[in-house]
Amino acid sequence: MAEIAQVEEKQKGGKKKFKKVPAHVDMTPMVDLMCILITFFMLTTAFTKPKIMEIVLPEKIKKDENVEPPKIAKSRTLNIILGPENKVFWYPGIADDPKNPPPLQETDFSATGIRQVLLERNRALFKKVSAFNDDVLTGKIDIPRDSVQSAIRQLKRDDDTGPIVLIKAYEKAKYKNFVDIIDEMSICDIARYTFVDISWLEEGMVNNAIGAIPVTSTSSN
């Protein structure tokens, strides 16, 4: 391009040099202005849109409808209670005997905390989902990109060994903890989880657990 332009200029120069100089518009102020505008738009544009996390809560059972809440297997139930100060408590099964409550285990949101608990219980499904993901990546399973998610959803629906996680929040929990625990559910490919209200018995169990830890005993009142 540059060469062609040069040749043209030479010809032009040779012919018209003495007649007149082509009128040049000075573009520099325009360039300056554009620089400023581009900088302005670059800085004000929100490139990273915030992300969303979908959550579906079970429908509320209205008092007058007289519908039985769905029953779930006790052996598969895992209760997670969001505690104060980023603590997480969990226990398997059900707490229905006030005299002899199940022991609460304390853990946290780190990768070695609640995630290990969940992964340990959800091993079968987690392996299935990650094997499926690997197969899709390596091309062993030829499947359109759009249907990967629905295929994984189907895997989750068919699962009948993983835990049924009931998430409960102690009153001093933060919103962040709620988001974190739902995040852990998706990280660990938990198929069935829901959010339920905390019972008075579980509240008492958490109070006991906090009281037993000397450092945080002041925050329990």
Residues near another protein (CB under 8 A) are 10, 13, 24, 26-28, 30-31, 34-35, 37-38, 41-42, 44-46, 48-60, 82, 111, 115-116, 119-120, 123, 126-127, 130, 169, 171-180, 182-183, 186-187
Nearer to another protein, 127 or 157 (CB): 127
Helix (H, G, I), strand (E, B) or coil at 127: helix
CB of 8 to another protein, least distance (A): 12
Place of tokens 């169990």: 205
CB of 126 to another protein, least distance (A): 7
Contact predicate 87/174, CB 8 Å: no
Nearer to another protein, 86 or 102 (CB): 86
CB of 128 to another protein, least distance (A): 12
Nearer to another protein, 117 or 205 (CB): 117
Q: What length is written for the chain? A: 221
Nearer to another protein, 102 or 152 (CB): 152
User: Alpha carbon of 208 to those of 107, 171, 202: distances in Å?
Assistant: 15, 14, 10
Nearer to another protein, 41 or 103 (CB): 41
Task: Collect all residues with Cβ–Cβ distance below 8 Å to 59 and sequence separation of at least 6.
Answer: none
Task: Collect all residues with Cβ–Cβ distance below 8 Å to 20 and sequence separation of at least 6.
Answer: none
CB of 99 to another protein, least distance (A): 29
Which residue, 102, 98, 100, 76, is CA-closest to 89? 102
Cα–Cα dist 18/10, whole Å:
13
CB of 13 to another protein, least distance (A): 7
